[in-house]
Amino acid sequence: MEGERGRGRTGAAKLDPSVINDEMEEQKKRDKIKEDGQFFMHWLKECTPFGFSPEEVQIALKRSPKDPLHYLQNKWLEIIKNAIVGVKFEKCNKGSYGIPSRNEIRLVLIECQGDITAAKKLCVKNRKKKINELFKKIDGRFQVSWDDAVQALSETELDVDQAYYTVQRYGLQELYEYLMSDFSKMVSEGQTEMEYLKGLIIERMKKKDSEDVYN
């Protein structure tokens, strides 16, 4: 009997210590993920009422885990401001790349995980691309200056289609201002705007006809 009991104890399955350790490590990881998730949700709830996105909260937790809200309200906003100024003074031989909006800078900073140098480079790269796309869309249909193209893209958050119509509006506004430059004369002669514009067009047509005859 004793021999049988001895054999029973000897033949019992033994747990591999490495397996136990692996299971413990996996459980620790699961607990850590759960803890991190709860921590993130806590700060997300604290930060979103102030207009910060989940991506911004994630960056803040990496940079300042003790008080990410304070980081976002102070350091993060300072980074955004500095990035805007940095892009503002970037220039090429045709002119500047314009002043990016706060939201435009926010997005590139998020993409670059808060790296201000990388964000400025990415912002300029994006603007170069959009400027080229806008001039390609215009394709010589009307004259647009570099500065007007940049301004139109800034006004439309880099929306090329909207910027296209914006630069058209610029051109019409300039034309209107040119035609109305002699507004005082129109008023003194008691003309309406339409009468005045009609007169200018007729005058221009006569001038064009005389130029054609001369040539």
Tell me which range, 112-121, 171-180, 190-199, is most confidently predicted by mean pLDDT. 112-121
pTM of the model: 0.65
Q: Is the pLDDT of residue 91 over 70?
A: yes
| pLDDT at site 3 | 52
| pLDDT at site 213 | 45
Is 72 in contact with 88 (CB distance < 8 Å)? Answer: no
Cα gap 46→68, rounded to integer Å? 9
Q: Is the pLDDT of residue 92 over 60?
A: yes
Q: Is the pLDDT of residue 25 over 90?
A: no
Least confident of 94-103, 111-120, 205-214: 205-214
The DSSP line for 83-108 is HHHHHHT-EETTEE-----HHHHHHH
Q: Which residues in 175-205 are b (16+ Cβ under 10 Å) and which e?
A: eeeebeeeeeebeeeeeeeeebeeeeeeeee
Q: Give residue 123's identity as a one-letter amino acid code.
A: C
Sequence-ordered alpha helix ranges (H) in the chain: 2-11, 17-47, 54-63, 68-71, 77-88, 102-111, 116-138, 146-155, 160-179, 183-188, 193-214
More confident residue, 173 or 57: 57
| pLDDT at site 214 | 45
Cα gap 71→60, rounded to integer Å? 6
Across the range 175-197, mean pLDDT stands at: 63
Place of tokens 């706060």: 102
Domain parsing of the chain, residue ranges: 23-214
Cα gap 67→76, rounded to integer Å? 12
Across the range 95-116, mean pLDDT stands at: 95
| pLDDT at site 88 | 92
